[in-house]
Amino acid sequence: MAPATPGHPDVVACSTDELAAGAAGGSSASFEALVDRLGPRLLRYLRRRVRDEHAAEDVLQETFLKAYRNLGRYDPSRSFATWIFTIATRLAASYLRSRRPAAGVDGLDPPATGVGPAEAASRREQNAGLWALASRVLGDGQFTALWLRYAEDMSLQEVADVMARSKGSVKVLLHRACRRLTDRVARRQTPAADAASAGEALVEA
């Protein structure tokens, strides 16, 4: 499919990378479509990274502004989503360096699929609690790796690209995050089997 052009009727049907190519070529419609498509995902991520609703929205706007200004530097051989998450991650880190984040976040997680409504609701509640716990007890690096890998479903290589780390380093972060979450759940006097399940709910074994 050809990159979308301004007013192109198939802009919604374009892939994210096709939209990025169109935006880099001067298509405002393509860039607006990118904002609509990636904005909610980025905002959910930034809410957890900066732990402040208004700050997250500010960083989101700054992210898209910086992406727009630097479209000429975007490498089409890379995933656009990975590229813009890299920008968002760096801006969030800059914000956190300038202001200590407030404690506590809302629990958000993608809905469970392939299960009944009751089980899906139960899983969402459990995942919400685990993400909130992760936000409190994990360092920025561990939490970022965990979120990008499992909430955003990025590959290890994509997470490594966003975080400017090696795949091996990302694997270590994920392993340590899983162990720490499992230990914290166990301290709440949760049976060992439940503690292991809690860790695996966010991180693959």
Look up residue 100 and give its two tokens. 């200590």
Task: Give the integer Cα–Cα distance in Å for 39 and 45.
Answer: 10
> In the numeric block, which tokens belong to residue 150?
């499992």
Domains of the chain by start residue, with CATH: 11-98 (1.10.1740.10), 117-200 (1.10.10)
Write 33-42 long-range contacts (CB < 8 A, 24+).
33/4, 34/80, 34/84, 35/64, 38/81, 38/84, 39/64, 41/81, 41/152, 42/84, 42/85, 42/88
The helix, strand and coil proportions of the chain, stated in percent and rounded to the nearest 5, come to 70, 0, 30
Amino acid residing at 77: S
pLDDT at res. 35:
95
Residue pair 165/154 in contact (Cβ under 8 Å)? The answer is no
Q: What is the pLDDT along the chain (205 residues), one digit of tens a residue?
A: 444 444 444 666 789 999 999 998 889 999 999 999 999 999 999 998 888 889 999 999 999 999 999 998 898 888 999 999 999 999 998 998 887 534 333 333 444 445 454 444 445 555 667 777 888 888 888 888 988 988 888 999 999 999 999 999 999 999 998 888 888 877 764 444 444 445 455 544 3
